Amino acid sequence: MRKSFGDHQVLRGIDLDAAPGDVVCVIGPSGSGKSTLLRCVNLLEVPSAGRITVGGTEITDPDTDIDAARRRIGMVFQQFHLFPHLDVLGNLTLPQRRVLGRDTEHAVAVARENLARVGLADRAAAYPSQLSGGQQQRVAIARALSMGPEVMLFDEPTSALDPELVGDVLAVLRELAGDGMTMMVVTHEMAFAREVADRVVFLDGGVVVEEGPAARVVGDPVHERTRDFLRRVL
């Protein structure tokens, strides 16, 4: 798969796959194309060449219903993007009602279940501004989960958080992974990648320089560029 912006080729031939239940962590320096890769998987960006298949559906096929395909993929960003004028429950129920056409009762039940899953069952009536960054990110995760995705994409979900709040969010990701969710996680948290990822992909300059089992890529990288990068982040 390739992606260019004008004549700037940002992703220069990426070939990746994840089996159901896999956790793939994507690491690499700033500007290497990590966000663009995730955005292509969700069709927030349209690849310039190549194909992307999710659960047997080729989402890059012009005949595919993009909205339906996108509903199967949840995405969580570095910035939480919550609706500031809605309380937590409203944040979780609005997209379910608007996009999935669920009635309020159904949407509320799903929302409460997912709030419990991220440890925020007691904050349903709070507004985003009343929550810590870590809590806001957990609400964003619960909101994505409430849509019933088959795959979850996380783009540096803890990078905007104060250090003491990172652990709670990573704990939620760890639990999701344990529940068998298929996940792609862009992260600089190497200890997390090593512990939770089935595979780590090191991206640099728009190509996959190295990929493999987490313990191998993070613990014993083969390529000089990977070693250089890890020396700087570890």
Q: Whose Cβ is closer to ligand ADP: residue 49's or residue 121's? A: 49
- Cβ at position 31, least distance to ligand ADP in Å: 4
Nearer to ligand ADP, 155 or 168 (CB): 155
Contacts to ligand ADP from residues 27-86, by CB under 6 A: 28, 30-36
Closest CB 54 distance from ligand ADP, rounded Å: 20
Q: CB of residue 6 vs ligand ADP: minimum separation in angstroms?
A: 7
Q: Which residues of 134-157 are buried (b: 16+ CB within 10 A; e: fewer)?
A: bbbbbbbbbbbbbbebebbbbbbb
Instruction: Write the binding mask 177 to 206 for Mg ion: x where contact by CB under 5 A, - elsewhere.
Output: ------------------------------
Name the token pair of 137.
């990110």
Which of 35, 91, 114, 136 lies at the binding interface for Mg ion (CB under 5 A)? Answer: 35
Structure tokens at 200: 């780590």
Angle of CA points 205, 27, 199, to nearest 5°: 120
Q: Identify whether the C-beta of residue 201 lies closer than 8 Å to the C-beta of residue 183.
A: no
Q: Which is nearer to ligand ADP, 46 or 116 (CB)?
A: 46
At 65, list the tokens.
């219903």
**Closest CB to ligand ADP among 10 and 120?**
10
Give the position of tokens 């003491």: 164
Residue 39 or 102 with smaller CB distance to Mg ion: 39
What is d(CA 42, CA 52) in angstroms, rounded to the nearest whole number? 9
42 part of the interface to Mg ion, by CB under 5 A: no
Report whether 24 contacts 14 (CB < 8 A).
no
Contacting range for Mg ion; rule: CB under 5 A; set: 26-34, 69-77, 194-202, 224-232: 26-34
Residue with tokens 């990590």: 34
Residues at the interface with ligand ADP (CB under 6 A): 5, 10, 28, 30-36
